[in-house]
Amino acid sequence: MKKRYRAVALALLLTMTVGMTAGCGASSSENAKKIIRIGHNQSTNHPTHIALLAFEEFIEEELGDKYDVEVFPSELLGSQNEMVQLTQTGAIDFCVASNSLLETFSDNYTLFNLPYLFASSEAYHAAMDDENITGPIFESTKQAGFEAVTWLDAGTRNFYTVDTAIETPDDLKGMKIRVQQSPTNVEMMDRLGGSATPMGFGDVYTSLQSKIIDGAENNELALTDNGHGDVCKNYSYDMHQMIPDILIGSNTFVDGLDSEERAVFEEGFELVNQVQREEWVDAVAEAKERAENEQGVTFLYPDTEPFREICLPMHDSMLEKYPDLEPIYEAIQAYNEEYPSEE
C-alpha cells in the first residue's frame, strides 16, 4: 500500500515539476500560488510531521496569497537520499535529512556524527542553538544546491537487538548492526567490535524480522513508530550519539525569496524547531511506555564509559583530517564543560 501511495505522489510530483519548467519554479501564471513541497521519512504522528504541519499553517496564514504548502510524510516522495536529490534540483523545496546522509555532501557534517561529541542533552541543545557552531556547517552545502534552514531533535541513539542484550562493548562482537549510511558510523561500529551494516531506514524492519541483521541503533521512537520493538526486545542506553536531523531547503527556492518573504520563512523555520522539540519530549516518554507495556521491550542502562573510551580516538582523527573544524569542536567542548554529564 505504501509503495502505491508513493508511486502516486511521485507521479504527481513529476507532473508538477514539468509544469514548473515554464515558470522558473514559481508559478505558471502571475496569479497562481507556488506549491511548496516538503518531504520526510517519518509517520504522521511523529514530532517532525507535527512541526511541519505547524510550519504549513504559519506560512499559509502569513503568505497564503502566494504559497500553498504540502507536507509529504513516510517517504511518499522517495527515500531520504532521493528526496535530498530532488531538493538539490529544485523539484521539491524542502526535505528532512539525517546528519549522516549530509556527511556525504559536506565533510563539515562529520563533526556532528562523532560518537560522544556532547556530554549531555543540555550541552547538545545549547550547541545546536549557537549559530557560530551551526552556521559554517549549515551553509557548507550551498554549492551542492541546498542549505540547512533549521535542526530537529532526534534524541540519543542507542543500540537495540533481537536477542543478545548489549551491556558492554564485548556484547557487540560479531553482531550485524544496522548503522546510518556514513563513514563515521561505520567506523564507530567497527571500533566497538560489531559488523556495521549500512542500509536505508525503510529496510530495517524487514531485515530485523528476517534476522539479516541482529540489531540497529536509533532513538526510542523507532521501537514504536516503526515497529522495531515488535522484533527487538532489548534497548541499551549506551548513549553513543546525539545527532540532529536537518531541514534543508533548495537554493532554487530559498534564494528566490525576497527580503520580506525570507523574514517570514525564517520565523517559520524557528517555529518548526520550537514545535518539534516540544513534541519530542512527550513523544519519547510515550514511546518508552508503549514499548515496555505493549511490546515487551526491556530498557537497559549499561556503563557508558567503556563505549566512550573506545570511540574517543575518533575525535582526534577527525580533527587531524579536518583541522578547519577545530574551532567549532572547541566551542562544543565549552558547552560540555558548562553542561556536564550527570552520570
pLDDT at 13: 60
d(CA 25, CA 90): 8
d(CA 152, CA 94): 14
Nearest in space to 62 (alpha carbons), one of 264, 271, 257:
264
Q: Which domains does the chain have, with CATH numbers?
A: 2-154+244-284 (3.40.190.170), 156-242+296-338 (3.40.190.170)
| Comparison of pLDDT for 14 and 205, the residue scoring more | 205
C-alpha cell at 194: 560489531
* Confidence bin at 202 (pLDDT 50/70/90): confident
How far is residue 108 from each of residues 38, 65, 121, 133, measured CA to CA in Å? Answer: 24, 38, 21, 11
Q: Which pairing describes strands 176-179 and 215-218: parallel, antiparallel, or unpaired? A: parallel
Alpha helical stretches, state H, the chain: 2-20, 47-63, 80-89, 99-102, 110-113, 121-128, 131-138, 183-192, 204-209, 221-224, 251-254, 259-293, 305-311, 313-321, 326-338
pLDDT at 18: 45
Place of cell 510550519: 55
* Confidence bin at 31 (pLDDT 50/70/90): low
Segment (H or E) for 67: strand 67-72
pLDDT at 9: 57
Q: What is the pLDDT of residues 34-86, one digit of tens each?
A: 999 999 999 999 999 999 999 999 999 999 999 999 999 999 999 999 999 99
Indicate the Cα dihedral angle 171, 172, 174, 176, nearest 10°. Answer: 140
pLDDT at 34: 97
Looking at residues 273-282, what average pLDDT do you find?
Answer: 98
Indicate the Cα dihedral angle 102, 227, 49, 72, nearest 10°. Answer: 80
Q: What is the pLDDT of residues 129-188, one digit of tens each?
A: 999 999 999 999 999 999 999 999 999 999 999 999 999 999 999 999 999 988 999 999
CA angle, corner 109, sides to 114 and 52, nearest 5?
Answer: 110
Question: Residue 21: is its pLDDT beyond 60?
Answer: no
Contact 56, 71 (CB under 8 A): yes
* Confidence bin at 11 (pLDDT 50/70/90): low
pLDDT at 265: 98
d(CA 69, CA 59): 8
Contacts of range 202-208, beta carbons closer than 8 Å, 24 or more positions apart: 202/41, 202/75, 202/79, 204/178, 204/228, 205/231, 207/178, 208/162, 208/178, 208/232
Q: What is the pLDDT of residues 218-275, one digit of tens each?
A: 999 999 999 999 999 999 999 999 999 999 999 999 999 999 999 999 999 999 999 9
